[in-house]
A and B are shown apart, each in its own frame.
Chain A
Amino acid sequence: MGRAGKIARRTFLIGSAAIAGGVAFGVYKLNQTPENPLVAGDGQSILNPYILIDQTGITIITPRAEMGQGVHTSLAAMVAEELDVRWQDIRVEHGPPGAAYANDVLAKSALLIKDFEPRSNLLLKVEDNLAKAPKVFGMQLTGGSSTTADGYHKMRLAGATARQVLIEAAAKRWGGDPAELQTHDGVVISSSGKTATYTDLAAEAALIEPPQGIPLKPKSEWRYLGTSMPRVDMVSKSTGTAQYGIDTRLDGMLFASIKTNPRLGGPMISFDATAAKSQPGVRKIVDLGNGVAVIATNTWLAMQALELIDFTWGDAPYPAESAEINATIAKAFEARANTTLRNDGDPDEVLSNANPDEIITAEYSAAYLAHAAMEPLNATALFEGDKLTIWSGNQAPVYTRQKVAKAVDLPRDQVTLITPLIGGSFGRRLEFDYSIIAARIAREMPGTAIKTTWSREQDMTHDFYRPAAIARFRGLMSDTGPIVFDGKLATQSAVQSFAGRLAGLPVFGPDRVLVEGMYDQPYGIANYRVAGHIADLDLPVGFWRSVGNSHNGFFHECFMDELATANDLDPLAMRLRLMQGVHAPSAKVLERVAAMAGWTGKSGKNIGRGVAFTYSWGTPTAQIVEVRDTPNGIRITKVWAAVDVGVALDPRNIQAQVMSGIIYGLSAAMMGEITFSDGQVEQTNFPDYDALRMDNSPDIAVEVLENKDRITGIGEPGVPPAMPALANALYDLTGKRARSLPLNQHFDFA
């Protein structure tokens, strides 16, 4: 078990009798400082919710989950930079659930604004207030490409403040002025050459009231930030020693697997487990209400036994076939729009006066998508009558603990949640279904730890999918660019679907996320309108890497390409003109990517090139995709990308995230599709829901710019432009405009 885990568990074992040491710093500009969720054990000192020091060294507690995006490294670098410790001397652990770890930046993203526009003072005040909300509502979430921006100030301040109390502790011990003391690599040094290590001073430091307003280092003095750091998890991940949730091992543990109704949300009418019961290693069959779990001595034995159970499943609460589901989505256009967040000029008026032959119209669509993270869903739980411990790789610890506690009828503080490393998530592990199920299964065998692992088939067919979506456009061109860009979108609301699961009630209201990537793009068009319509479907949908941007980026940027090519305009130059005077950093990434690719607007024989741009999560991202016709089919040969994150804390990791986003996006665009028949998802494993592999993935070049005035994230922004850039490249290559995803329905790929 991890150190932070031990601490958290001890909290509940010995409660308030724990050795006091938790002094919360004035890191939080809050009316009420949330309680420090860490409690010190023997010989440990907690300098604030992010830093734990004991004789064995310094542990940085990160409030966000590591699921591949490198945040444990980036967050640790922020603390280490200010604390002044050697990189090799730190350890990093995920923190327990705690209001102190709430995500302020994500809360701010709820505002119905266009992010690229300058903020007024009033807006900044509103944002500040919103930033307090997550502490109240438990928004300790890893998502929304927000981790770096959220941690940027508080993690550095935690390091700086801790360093200051360590200095003051040394000053007290030696007598004298703290201002005379210096630090170097985890040691406080006096002007006369006396030294004391941080570990030695920690206990005394924890008793000192932390000072306010410690200044942070200027950028020019950074030694870790702004540099590509070796990831803290790289050695363990290259040697098979990294511990993911699925690797949890506990004494005497058993292994479970589940099957639930493949018609999502439908009931189980009956089941017959006679044959399963007598299988080798099977210990218990558990009725989950909408499915069954088998507990056995080995995961595979549990999965095998499940295959022998006869189920009678009830119907799903949504139409049984994909065609009917898609028709239901299209029907949403007939009802009032949920939002019209872009509404410049008067598209209706201009179009009604236009020559109908000159109006360009198009309908686009995108399919449902699964997250398909490499580590199948799993969680391990140990139920001990009045308490439960659960090991679950998750992106939402406060909600997860709350939901798990409710499911097994325990008070929240009797549930200990440990968040191990996550083998990919892409939004899937913001949900709590798999944690709840593992807890319910463990309750059936008090005193025995049980690891519940979903088969790949169960994982893929029981996702909270990226919703399918349809967009309809009308456009009108002048000689230099669009004068009307009128788009409307119909899709299910992932926000309302998720919020409903969280609250246990239907949730309504304007949904910004539905239209993100479409209404909030930094283009100046005289008559520019984007409306969002919510489809009324009871099909479970959720947050998929880049969320609304994932389909809207495709729609918006393909139609932009159509408008340009219809008038023989260079699509890149046209975009640059539209950005003029709107958002300079966005124009710069576009210019940069053009230079990287040597964009001339002309591509050679058997070569197609496409460009796209999406401003998502505050990070403008431009990409150019190159495709080539080969005897075996079309290959994606090269992708160039330029991004602007404001402050590039770890350039090599930023590049990795952009590459990852591009491959994730291209995979979905090329071949990603979840379809339904008889109410069931038809794709069950990687052969029918595949992704790019080594032999068909392109070379990728990434450049990182810093022209923005604000630091923003990079986990998601690489995804959206990859899809339209590919579709636009295919148009350039073939002259065929594909308006629906996936693209392998229109083209033969090598």
Chain B
Amino acid sequence: MAFNLTVDGTAYSVDVPADMPLLWVLRDELGLTGTKYGCGISACGACTVQIDGQAVRSCVLPISDLSGEVTTIEGLGTPENLATIQQSWIDHQVAQCGYCQPGQIMQAAAFLAENPFPTNQDIDTAMAGNLCRCGTYPRIRAAIKDAARQMRGG
């Protein structure tokens, strides 16, 4: 079946079965590999993208259920034009293997857009679905707090 979708501001059309998860449309059909496969069952957050600004696990979203514009890590910012949160990730040297980080960053960015004054508790709750096997949590926490400060303009 043919589906139309908009990813990072670009319109695409794909011909895939209706139940194919968005993750695999992005990765294998469109070649947008920034979004990662980790578990396929919404248990790790590696595949997190934003749909109209909301964080969504793309591994369990059938393409037929997609409505809204998709933003992936590649669309959030680029090495030449970093989003505030990406700059904060770099300032705090968060990534180790880095594989979970696109999902962490997409989750954090969506969360901060809704909650500019997060408490530690808020951060914990918002980020608990994103697994990092390298254990970068202490630095993710610091980077989120710093990004929140900067996004508030302070």
Contact = CB atoms under 8 A, between A and B. Distances in A.
Interface of A: 67-70, 228, 230-231, 233-244, 246-247, 249, 255, 280, 297-301, 303, 372-376, 421-426, 453, 455-456, 652-653, 656, 659-664, 667, 685-687, 690-695, 697, 699-700
Contacts of B41: 456, 685-687
B35 A240 contact: yes
B34 A241 contact: yes
Given A68-B97, A299-B37, A664-B133, 20 more contacts: A68-B96, A233-B98, A234-B89, A235-B82, A235-B90, A236-B98, A237-B101, A238-B89, A239-B79, A241-B74, A242-B98, A249-B31, A300-B23, A424-B99, A456-B40, A656-B93, A656-B96, A691-B133, A692-B137, A694-B124
B84 to A, nearest CB: 12
Interface in B28-61: 28-29, 31, 33-41, 43-44, 46
B128 A234 contact: no
Contact of A685 (B43, B132, B138): B43
Contact of B123 (A249, A376, A690, A694): A694
B128 A694 contact: yes
B95 A233 contact: yes
A234 B44 contact: no
A70 B140 CA distance: 17
Contacts of A699: 138
Contact of B95 (A234, A247, A280): A234
Residue among A69, A455, A663 with max Cβ neighbours from chain B (10 Å): A663
21 contacts: A67-B97, A68-B95, A68-B134, A230-B90, A238-B101, A239-B74, A240-B33, A240-B72, A240-B76, A298-B28, A298-B29, A301-B24, A421-B97, A422-B97, A423-B36, A661-B135, A686-B131, A691-B133, A693-B128, A695-B125, A695-B127
Contacts of B36: 246, 374-375, 423
Given A67-B97, A239-B82, A695-B128, A456 B39 contact: yes
Interface string B122-152: 0111011111111111111100000000000
B20 A421 contact: no
A694 B140 contact: yes
Contacts of A690: 131
A694 B82 contact: no
Contacts of B100: 374
B98 A423 contact: yes
Nearest to B74: A240
B112 interface: no
A691 B37 CA distance: 17
B96 A70 contact: yes
Contacts of A652: 93
Q: Lowest 9 CB-CB distances: which A-B pairs, in order?
A: A240-B34, A663-B135, A423-B99, A237-B98, A68-B97, A240-B73, A68-B96, A300-B24, A247-B33
A685 B97 contact: no
Contacts of A67: 97
- A contact face: mostly helix, strand, loop, or mixed: loop
A690 B38 CA distance: 13
A647 B124 CA distance: 35
B120 to A, nearest CB: 10
B72 to A, nearest CB: 7
B116 interface: no
Nearest to A664: B135
Contact of B133 (A231, A280, A424): A424
A697 B135 CA distance: 9
Given A247-B33, A298-B24, A694-B128, A663 B137 contact: yes
B52 to A, nearest CB: 19
B78 interface: yes
A301 B93 contact: no
Given A423-B98, A456-B38, A660 B136 contact: yes
Contacts of B98: 68, 233, 236-238, 242, 421, 423
Contacts of B33: 240, 243, 246-247, 249
A663 B96 CA distance: 13
B39 A238 contact: no
A374 B90 contact: no
B16 interface: yes
A667 B133 CA distance: 9
Nearest to A718: B135
Contacts of A298: 16, 20, 24, 28-29
Nearest to A234: B90
A228 B77 CA distance: 25
Contacts of B29: 298
Residue among A237, A241, A244, A422 with max Cβ neighbours from chain B (10 Å): A237
Interface string B11-25: 000001100110110
Contacts of A249: 31, 33
Nearest to A255: B28
B152 to A, nearest CB: 21
Contacts of A456: 38-41
B96 A660 contact: yes
B105 interface: yes
Contacts of B89: 234, 238
Contacts of A70: 96
Given A239-B74, A656-B139, A694 B28 contact: no
Nearest to A372: B133
B44 A374 contact: yes
B94 interface: yes
A238 B95 contact: yes
Residue among B89, B97, B133 with max Cβ neighbours from chain A (10 Å): B97
Contacts of B138: 659, 697, 699-700
Contacts of B23: 300
Contact of B21 (A300, A662, A687): A300
A238 B128 contact: no
B135 A300 contact: no
Contact of A694 (B20, B96, B130): B130
Nearest to B106: A240
Contact of B79 (A231, A235, A255): A235
A377 to B, nearest CB: 12
B97 A424 contact: yes
Nearest to B24: A300
A288 B5 CA distance: 37
A9 to B, nearest CB: 22
A374 B99 contact: yes
A280 B135 contact: no
A556 B37 CA distance: 38
A452 to B, nearest CB: 13
Contacts of A693: 127-131, 137
